[in-house]
Structure 1
Amino acid sequence: MIRHAQSENNALWARTGSSIGRSSDPQLTDIGQQQARHLGQHIGKNWWQADPDNDSHNRKGFNFTHLYCSLMVRAVATGTAIAKKVDIPLVGWEIIHETGGIFERDHEMDERIGLPGPNRAYFAQHFPHLVLPDSLGEAGWWERPFETREQAMGRAKLFLEELQQRHEPGDRVAIVTHGGFFVAVLRTLFGFATLDNEEAENRIWLHAHNTSITRLNFSEKQVDLVYLNRLDHLPTELIT
């Protein structure tokens, strides 16, 4: 699981501690673009020597068999930096989007209003290499109300089910996703989602810095969290 590089909204929050002025689907910042390049170079340089049985920390390489990204621009741009360095397609997978979806926030009314999001023509123009879902047409891919916390947790469970359905043992799957969804998936996997309420859940926080890499191994008996939030590829000044 790879978190996207720094977005304009990440930088806004870091500067102001506020979401006022946020974008519904932000681009990467200059720092984010640098992070994405370092990430792509790191994965590309450490690619072909992967040995899943004797290299649990990927010191010898990654060699993903599949590479997915969400349909949010910051994830597509980060995934593109990887895809440019490796010989596998970048595939859009809608279900791994950030919690909430594509929305704008009305601070006066304290409402979150769902927006359409980019459509097929947008991606064809800006990310022509991206393999898009057949269902995506001229309407935006989101085009629905704001997603609630409960819906996001249900989507994390559905993602894990779809992951098992799509892939065979031995597949090495990379997803370029988002901080909120990353937390939802890990809470679902390790039972934190059964806590009674959101306040109780937030006592257990799972960190994913921009472009961090987290590895999970799935077997019939268990799920292993092999490593979390690794940033070996970034110089200190680019960690956000």
Structure 2
Amino acid sequence: MQLILVRHGQSTNNVRLAEAMAAGLGRNQTDEQIAPDVSHYLGRVPDPPLSALGMRQAEALGRALLDERTPFTPTHLYASPTTRAVQTVRPLADAARRPVLLHPDAYEVGGIHVFDPPMRTRQARPGATLMELLQHCPAVEAPPGLFHSSDEPWSGGLETQDEQAVPRAQRLLARLREAHGPDDVVLVVTHQHFSQFVLAAVLGWDGPPWQRFRLDNTGHLSLRFGDGPASVDWVNRVEHLNPEDISN
């Protein structure tokens, strides 16, 4: 099985975070840390949509797939059940003419939440409903249990500590490997932070991966699984984007 992880396009939160970082938030963070403590900044929302640039990035990746300019041709499509991931996967679904299964383990580290500054804790918020996600991508399908009904939101998957994403990443890999054969090319639209934990699971790390691998908006990485150890084909390919449209 070849597994392609695609980061969603630029979200409105990515824009707000960049503004906050420019203003000094996280300036003491080092490159070795996976991500700065940026749960709280002006304008952050729990489940953000794509920005205008993010939509262009997603459309560019979809065009590249349609024109056979991507280094992969997916046989199966999955997406995180977040708004930005579902918006990103739509051009890919249109190009591949395949359904998209929402994966209950592919959402961002921490889940959908707001940050309580006095307590320095994450407070749970629900995600979108299936009806709302279908408006962004009519090709999405939900696995049993993710939604109680089409007009009720999914739980949002709160994780109070980043370390809770470790078993989730391991579970995602195990479920995908169980469901797919050696010739399948499985594409999952997910998130930059969570992708680090998937890589950690592949590399056999049993704790949070404080080494950070850059994955730009709609950048993708390839993992390959066979009878022996898994291998990494590439990380953060963005040839489908014009240089001025690359963002992180």
With the shorter chain as reference, the TM-score category is 0.7 to 0.9
Verify: 1:180 aligned to 2:180, yes or no: no
1:27, 1:84 → 2: CA distance?
19
Aligned to 2:232, the other structure's residue is in SS state: strand
Q: Quick check: 1:5–1:35 contact (8 Å CA) kept in 2?
A: yes
1:123, 1:145 → 2: CA distance?
19
Q: How many residues align?
A: 222
Verify: 1:79 aligned to 2:89, yes or no: yes
Verify: 1:218 aligned to 2:225, yes or no: yes
Counterpart of 2:12? 8
Q: Quick check: 1:99–1:147 contact (8 Å CA) kept in 2?
A: no
Aligned to 1:80, the other structure's residue is in SS state: helix
Matches within 5 A, 1:1-240: 1-17=5-21, 18=25, 19-20=40-41, 21-46=43-68, 58=71, 62-135=72-145, 136=147, 137=149, 138-142=151-155, 145-194=158-207, 201-202=209-210, 204-240=211-247
Counterpart of 1:11, as a letter, is V
Measured on the aligned residues, the alpha-carbon RMSD in Å equals 1.8
| Structure 1, 35-44 or 81-90: larger mean CA deviation | 81-90
Q: Quick check: 2:122–2:160 contact (8 Å CA) kept in 1?
A: no
Counterpart of 1:139, as a letter, is E
Q: Quick check: 1:101–1:146 contact (8 Å CA) kept in 2?
A: yes
Q: Quick check: 2:90–2:136 contact (8 Å CA) kept in 1?
A: no
Q: CA deviation at 1:147?
A: 4.2
TM-score by structure 2 length? Answer: 0.84
Counterpart of 1:54? none
Aligned to 2:183, the other structure's residue is in SS state: coil
Q: CA deviation at 1:121?
A: 3.0
Q: CA deviation at 1:239?
A: 0.5
| Structure 1, 63-72 or 116-125: larger mean CA deviation | 116-125
Q: CA deviation at 1:118?
A: 1.3
Counterpart of 2:184, as a letter, is D
Counterpart of 2:86, as a letter, is V
- When residues 43 and 191 of structure 1 are mapped into structure 2, their CA distance, relative to the original with a 3 A threshold, is same
2:239, 2:156 → 1: CA distance?
37
2:45, 2:73 → 1: CA distance?
34
1:13, 1:132 → 2: CA distance?
30
TM-score by structure 1 length? Answer: 0.86
Aligned to 2:141, the other structure's residue is in SS state: coil
By relative contact order (CA 8 Å, sep 6+), the higher-ranking structure is 2
Q: Which runs of 4+ in 1 moved over 4 A?
A: none
2:112, 2:83 → 1: CA distance?
11
1:2, 1:124 → 2: CA distance?
20
Q: Which structure 2 segments of 5+ residues have no match?
A: 26-39
Aligned to 2:172, the other structure's residue is in SS state: helix
Identity, % of aligned positions: 32
Counterpart of 1:239, as a letter, is I
Counterpart of 2:34? none
Q: CA deviation at 1:165?
A: 1.0
